Amino acid sequence: METRPAWTRSLNEPKLLAAGADWDAVRVSADVGVRVVRDLAARGIPVGPVLHDLCSGQAYFLTAPGTARDWKQDGTRALGAGSWVVLAPPGWDGLLRWVSGPTSGPAHTATDDLAAALDAAIATREEAGR
């Protein structure tokens, strides 16, 4: 049986939702986000919901509420209380797509795991650009 987080139950189409209550989000470029998801999955680390915005080329990792208060990671932006993110319903197939859906794993990606994987992915991207 699929478990749907409460915030997804009113989503029939993409909708602007407030961060800070059920989740915070860490925004990264989509290329870095894909590397991070692959790295975490390859190491057997659970990945929470990750949304890919094809229009902006950004990926959003949903993290525990409060993450944004202390988040300090180059190449990223943390979105917490006072921020808004357009999220899609589970299974949505449009310009917003879930890389890791809100019903397929944990409610959030652990911040320590996310930060370590982001460090590696951003360093790899910077080395490739030299």
For residue range 71-106, what is the model confidence (pLDDT) as tens digits?
999 889 999 999 999 999 988 989 999 999 998 789
Helices (H) and strands (E) in the chain, counts: 3, 7
Q: Decide: 5 and 102 in contact? Cβ < 8 Å.
A: yes
pLDDT greater than 60 at residue 5:
yes
Angle at 56 between CA 52 and CA 62, to 5 degrees: 35
For residue range 50-71, what is the model confidence (pLDDT) as tens digits?
999 999 999 999 999 999 999 9
Residue ranges per structural domain of the chain: 20-128
What is the predicted pLDDT for the residue at 1?
Answer: 44
